[in-house]
Structure 1
Amino acid sequence: MGNFSIHAGLINGGLMPIMENEKSSGEVVTAFTGDDTGVPVTSLTVTVHTDSGKIVEIVVPNSSATAIVKVDGNII
């Protein structure tokens, strides 16, 4: 089981689930990258640059490990 979920924001203010906590980190990475990428994928990283200049990264490992969040390179 993962420690995160992905939702799409709807115009009515609701959230549509894309992936919820029942998926493992590995299943999430495979859903985004497929399972025939040539060189094995070790993780999926989502990077956000904030207006205040911070860099936020969400790293989803291609395993059963939990996702991590980094701000300016530091794990929080």
Structure 2
Amino acid sequence: MYIEHGFSTIVFAKSIGKNFYINQNVTIGTGRGGNPTIGDNVRVGANSVIIGNIFVADDVKVGAGAVLNFEVPKGSTVISQKCRVI
């Protein structure tokens, strides 16, 4: 596990695989009946949220600012919405 600038990072997962990399201001925790299970070689970008009883498979990248409350297949990349002016 490697925590880059771990300020304001909360990790409350069922389990975390090997080679887990996480940035600052990330929340991993309870929602929808439980906590997430994190696979091997997962990277989580700054300001991301991973909540719920979900499985984040091996080799997944979670982009900065993404909100993840659904299962993600192996090798996927998850990003947030494109910013827009309203």
TM-score over 0.5 (shorter chain): no
Higher strand share: 1
TM-score scaled to structure 2, two decimals? 0.21
Q: Which of 1 and 2 has higher RCO (CA within 8 Å, sep 6+)?
A: 1
TM-score scaled to structure 1, two decimals? 0.22
Q: Which structure is larger by alpha-carbon Rg, 1 or 2?
A: 1
Higher helix share: 1
